[in-house]
Amino acid sequence: MTALAWLIPLLPFLAFGLIVFFGRRLPGQGASVAIGALLAAAVFSLLLFFRLLGGAEPIRSTINWLVLGQQPLALGIQVDALTAVMLLVVTVVGSMIFIYSVGYMHGDPRYPRFFAYLSLFAASMLLLVLADNFLFLYVGWELVGLCSYLLIGFWFERPAAARASLKAFITTRVGDVFFFAGILLVFFNLGTLGFGQTFEAVESGHLSGGLLTGIALLLFGGAIGKSAQVPLHVWLPDAMEGPTPVSALIHAATMVAAGVYMVARLFLIFFSSPDHTALAVVAWIGGISAFMAATIAVVQDDIKRVMAYSTISQLGYMMLGLGVLGYTAGVFHLMTHAFFKALLFLGAGSVIHAMHTNDIKQMGGLAKVMPSTYWTMLIGSLALAGIFPFAGFWSKDEILTEAWHNNPPLFYVGLVTSFITAFYVMRMMFYTFLGEPRWAPAHESSGHGQGTVVHPHESPRVMTGPLWFLAFFAAFIGFVGAPFLGSPFGRFVRFGEEAAVPFDLRIAVISTAVALAGMGVAAALYRWRWLSPAAVRRAFQPFSTWAERKYYFDDLYGWTVVRGTVWASRVLRVFDIYVIDGFVNLIGVVFVGLTRLYRVFDLYVVDGLVNLIGWGTKALGGVLRFVQTGRAENYLLVIAIGVILLIIGGLVR
């Protein structure tokens, strides 16, 4: 069985290897290899899922990745309830998206490379989900970040895509640094990276108090980065530059959910921080992100940007769920969201594929032209809004009940957000599918057509197939957690022993009412035109401009971080050249000066001395010359004086 678990991440990885080296020559230019690998992984995860459902023990297997000093660092994988669910989500949604992208990416010059990146992404996501220790989690975490970088920047000819991929990687990398710091702190205190040992240490109280909260918050920092929560959410909207299947797979269903999965996986750490401060932080950050992203989504015109902000908002919802001790609620919402958000993205993809534009203001009236896309997206929107039979209703409702019980103010935030969610999703639907077409069909002469010249058509079966598959799940996956069926999901995926909060009809009714109200207002504005959207915008004047300017986060980061680093690097470069190099060259110049000084010193002083002696002797000679008079008697005189001196000398001594 464990071999099976190891195979799940390895299969897509092998597919990646194969495609990279033999891309073109593989069947279906690598696509079928990728899809085959992922489908196999899906089958294996189903097998594991049913084994676990049948009450089998969670699988664990480790290898000695490396030995430090005496003690080896054992790293491995584990499959328990949470992992099984995530495996299912990733593989099922993943394969649907793989199949969809065969049609979507048809004819792209770098077609095999796209599937190579997708397989690598699937492999690293599976590794992340299966990890039983911080290191594999972190490795999967970073590799997933890499794949999102590669896939966002897939059409790198477009400078916007290049910048977006860079922005995505750097922002997630900032989050990863906090995550890494958290891991280091754990290793520093416990000397081990495995989750098992960490949980034992937390239970035994060896790791507790402020330190535990610190670790929890640092780890949550990573989650903020990866799941695009408030401070580090700026990269997700720009990530829409990538191809739509990428946005669907990575930026809706799986990768961004990694942050939520990480919080769920390490829930014990968050849970046991003194009086749940960590969980409160998670909840509030989730709440704020949910509300703020929802407000921004309302004013977005690009269909994918709307979806992006909706994802941030829904992720905020999951964090909120987890934060208010709703472990099952959070995970359940994660699963349902994966399905209907992937569906909405793929639908948007097929719309873009047909209309060759993202701007919903240039669409309209597509319902008749693209019926299957319209109906599947309608199901998706209703699920997102949280209307009764659909998946969104059950998971969002559970979160709201948990919030109601544990953190009332957040309940109200949740409620308002669900109202806005319903509003913006319906607004998007009305703009895109209903109302009069704001484009001129191609065959008419485009004399008066005020829209773009385009001929929308329904996407090919290879794209609509997955849409219907996902629509089915978006509709009925909710029942898995339905209370009246004894919430099987709650029993399967739960934290600790106490059961999830019982189903509360009153909250269900309130939330549905709020959702319907939201849709009603949207219909009033866009379908029946009671109010003009411009008037509403003027009414909420200060907030709406904030929302349009995305709460100025981008400009803030642009000014402080980006410009700051570039400025710092330029200053340091100049500093390096002039100061340090200057200093070195200065020493060089000083030494050259010294050598010149020595030459002068040597020339004048030492040489001078020698010449002086020469000159001195000559001068002395000149003086003494006069003594040599040539006259004998002078010499006699000198001799006589000499004798006298000698005598005196002799007498004296």
Partner 1 sequence: MLSLMLFLPLAGGIFLLFFRNPRAIRGIALGASLLSLYVSIVVLGRFDLHGGMQLLESYSWIPAVGIAYRVGIDGLSLPLVLLTQLLSAVSIVYSWRVDMRLKEYMFLLLLLQTAMLGVFAALDFFLFYIFWEVTLVPMYFLIGIWGGPRKEYAAIKFFLFTLIGSLAMLVGILLLYFNAAPRTFDVLSLIQQQPLAGQLRLATIAFWGFFLSFAIKVPMWPFHTWLPDAHVEAPTAGSVILAGILLKLGTYGFVRYSLTLFPQVFQQYASLIAILALLGIIYGALVAMAQTDLKKLVAYSSVNHMGYVMLGVSAAAFAYGKPDLAPAATTALNGAVFEMIAHGVITGALFLIVGVIYDYRAHTRGVDEFGGLGAILPVYSGITMVAMLASLGLPALMGFVAEFLIFLGSFGVFPGFAATGLLGIIITAAMFLWTIQRIFLGPANPRWKGLADMDTRELVALVPLTVLMVIFGVYPRPLLDIINAAMTTLVAALR
Partner 2 sequence: MQVGLNHYLAVSALLFGLGLYGILTRRNAVAILMGIELMLNAANINLVAFNRYVAPGALAGHVFALIIITLAACEAAVGLALVLAVYRNLETIHVDEINVMKW
Partner 3 sequence: MGELAAFIILAIVTLLPAVVVVTSRNLVRAAMSLIPSFLGVTGLFVLLQAEFVAGIQILIYAGAIAVLILFVIMLTQGGTGTALRQVNEQQLVGGLVAGALTIALLGLLLRTPWPLVAGTLPRSNVAAVGGAFLTNFILAFEISSLVLLVSLVGALVIARREQ
145 and 176 Cβ atoms separated by less than 8 Å? yes
Choose the binding region for partner 3 from 66-74, 607-615, 618-626, 636-644 (rule: CB under 8 A).
636-644
Residue 595 sits in the site that holds partner 1 (CB under 8 A): no
Coil vs helix vs strand at 79: strand
Q: Which of 388, 421, 415 is nearest to 401 (CA)?
A: 415
- CA–centroid distance for 407 within its chain: 29
Helices (H) and strands (E) in the chain, counts: 29, 4
- Partner in contact with 56, chosen from partner 2, partner 1, partner 3, none, beta carbon below 5 to 8 Å by kind: none
C-alpha distances in angstroms, 617 versus 303, 610, 626, 630? Answer: 106, 11, 15, 22
* 560 near partner 3, judged by CB under 8 A: no
- Of 349, 380, 332, 334, nearest to 240 by C-alpha is 349
Q: Considering only residues 211-250, where is the footprint of partner 1 by CB under 8 A?
A: none
Contacted by 651, from partner 1, partner 3, partner 2, none: CB < 5 to 8 Å by type:
partner 3
Query: Interface with partner 1 includes 187 (CB under 8 A)?
Result: yes
For partner 1, which residue of 535, 584, 609, 610 counts as binding (CB under 8 A)? 584
Whole-number Cα distances in Å, 449 to 437, 441, 444, 492: 11, 8, 8, 57
Residue 454 phi/psi, 5-degree rounding, is -155, 160
- Minimum separation from the CB atom of position 627 to partner 2 (A): 9
Residue span binding partner 1 (CB under 8 A) among the ranges 180-188, 254-262, 406-414, 539-547: 180-188
CA-based nearest residue to 376, from 390, 363, 386, 357: 390
C-beta of residue 512 within 8 angstroms of C-beta of residue 412: no
Residue 632 binding target from partner 2, partner 1, partner 3, none, CB below 5 to 8 Å by type? partner 2
Q: Which stretch binds partner 2 (CB under 8 A): 143-151, 189-197, 286-294, 625-633?
A: 625-633
CB 19 within 8 A of CB 31: no
157 binds, among partner 2, partner 3, partner 1, none (CB under 5 to 8 A by kind): partner 1
Interface with partner 3 (CB under 8 A), residue from 644, 649, 652, 653 = 644
Q: Is there binding between residue 206 and partner 1 (CB under 8 A)?
A: no
Cα first-last separation, the chain: 125
Which of partner 2, partner 1, partner 3, none is residue 65 near (CB under 5 to 8 Å by kind)?
partner 1
Question: φ, ψ for residue 434 (rounded to 5)?
Answer: -100, -170
For residue 62, give the 3-state DSSP assignment. Answer: strand
- Min. distance of Cβ 594 from partner 2 in angstroms? 49
Q: Would you count residue 114 as binding partner 1 (CB under 8 A)?
A: no
> What number of other Cβ atoms are within 10 A of residue 200's Cβ?
15
Enter the tokens of residue 268.
Answer: 């014990």
Site residues for partner 1, 65-84, by CB under 8 A, read 65-71
Q: Closest approach of Cβ 327 to partner 1, in Å?
A: 28
Confirm or reject binding of residue 633 to partner 2 (CB under 8 A): yes
- How distant is the alpha carbon of residue 524 from its chain centre? 38
Interatomic CA distance for residues 426 and 37, integer angstroms = 37
Question: Does position 611 bind partner 1 by CB under 8 A?
Answer: no
Q: What angle do CA 145, 349, 247 make, to 5 degrees?
A: 10
Choose between 560 and 629: whose C-beta lies nearer to partner 2.
629
Which of partner 3, partner 1, partner 2, none does 628 bind, CB closer than 5 to 8 A by kind? partner 2
* Cβ nearer to partner 1, comparing 156 with 601: 156
Instruction: Build a one-symbol-per-residue string for 145-174: x at contacts with partner 1 by CB under 8 A, - elsewhere.
Output: -x--x---x--xxxx-xxx-xx--xx--xx
- State the nearest-atom distance from the C-beta of 632 to partner 2, in Å: 5
Q: What minimum distance in Å lies between the beta carbon of 653 and partner 2?
A: 22
Rounded to the nearest whole angstrom, what is the least distance from the CB of residue 651 to partner 2 in the complex?
A: 15
569 contacts partner 3 (rule: CB under 8 A): no
* Residue closer to partner 3 (CB basis): 53 or 648: 648
Nearer residue to partner 1 within complex by CB, 239 or 283: 239
Q: Counting contacts by CB under 8 A, is residue 635 touching partner 3?
A: no
Q: Please work out the total of residues on this chain that contact partner 3, with binding judged by CB under 8 A.
A: 10
Contact present, 114 and 105 (Cβ < 8 Å): yes
In angstroms, give the least distance from the CB of 626 to partner 2: 9
Using CB under 8 A as the binding rule, whether residue 633 contacts partner 3 is answered as yes
Give me the least distance between CB of 187 and partner 1, in Å please.
6
SS (HEC) of 122-152: HHHHHHHHHECEHHHHHHHHHHHHHHHHHHH
Residue 433: which of 512, 380, 473 has the closest Cα?
Answer: 380
Q: What are phi and psi of 153, to 5 degrees?
A: -90, 30
Instruction: Please give the Cα distance from 235 to 233 (Å, whole number).
Output: 6
What tokens were used for 36?
């085959």
Round to whole Å and give the CA distance between 114 and 154: 7
- Secondary structure class of 369 (helix, strand, coil): helix
CB atoms within 10 A of CB 23: 18
Residue closer to partner 1 by CB (options 161, 322) is 161
Contact with partner 2 (CB under 8 A): which of 636, 645, 647, 648? 636
Candidates 135-143, 163-171, 364-372, 642-650; binding stretch for partner 3 (CB under 8 A)? 642-650
Question: Closest Cα partner for 129 from 97, 93, 155, 165?
Answer: 93
Which tokens belong to 634? 């002078």
Residue closer to partner 3 by CB (options 585, 629) is 629
Q: Which is nearer to partner 1, 216 or 410 (CB)?
A: 216
User: Which residue, among 435, 413, 347, has the nearest Cα to 384 in the 3D structure?
Assistant: 347
Distance from C-alpha of 113 to C-alpha of 124, rounded to nearest angstrom: 17
Among 648, 649, 652, 653, binds partner 3 (CB under 8 A): 648
Residue 405 binding: pick among partner 2, partner 1, partner 3, none (C-beta 5-8 Å cut-off by kind) = none
The number of beta carbons lying within 10 Å of the beta carbon of residue 414 is 28
578 binds, among partner 3, partner 1, partner 2, none (CB under 5 to 8 A by kind): none
Among 649, 651, 652, 653, binds partner 3 (CB under 8 A): 651
Q: Which positions touch partner 1 (CB under 8 A)?
A: 64-71, 135, 138-139, 141-143, 146, 149, 153, 156-159, 161-163, 165-166, 169-170, 173-174, 177, 180-181, 184-185, 187-188, 191, 565-566, 568-570, 572-573, 576, 580-581, 584
Q: Which positions touch partner 2 (CB under 8 A)?
A: 625, 628-633, 636-637, 640
Q: Which positions touch partner 3 (CB under 8 A)?
A: 633-634, 637, 640-641, 643-644, 647-648, 651
